[in-house]
Amino acid sequence: MAEKIAKKLDLEEKTVIECKDFELKEGDFNSPLWILKIEDKLKIALDANDYIKLMNNFKNIMKENLELKLEKAILSEFPIDYDDVKAVVLEEMKNDQYSSIDEIVDKVKLEHPNLFLNVELDKLF
């Protein structure tokens, strides 16, 4: 069972604990969340399916956050075609995982100025 869950979560390393003797201090055995005290440290135990749902929710939130940051960075540079710029930026992000989104968008704008409108704001105001 632990092998299936580890594979589902794409875990390389796992720790499996089998509890034979334990004492219920308060609450209900049917609770979806257990607070365990192990060597004076509090740990949280969840049902495996609840944990998988939680991790999937985290992944979705991180993906949405990235999409919003990417959209903001690209739109602030006045792209001619947002989707074209996004495709180039995403490809550049694969090649350069250490630069920030803003740095990559600036790099794309320098290397591909034809993808952006040439707006000189200081001349407008």
- Residue 67 to residue 83: CA distance in whole angstroms: 12
What pLDDT digit, counting tens, does each position of 24-74 carry?
A: 888 888 888 888 888 899 988 888 889 889 999 999 999 999 999 999 999
Q: Where are the domains of the chain?
A: 2-50, 64-124
- Residue % of the chain over a pLDDT of 90: 53
Closest CA relative to residue 78, chosen from 114, 112, 111, 119? 119
What pTM was computed for the model?
Answer: 0.71
Mean pLDDT of 10-20: 76
What pLDDT digit, counting tens, does each position of 76-115 carry?
A: 999 999 999 999 999 999 999 999 999 999 999 999 999 9
**Element housing 59 (H / E):** helix 48-75
DSSP class per residue in 10-38? T-SS------SS----SS-TT-SEEEEEE
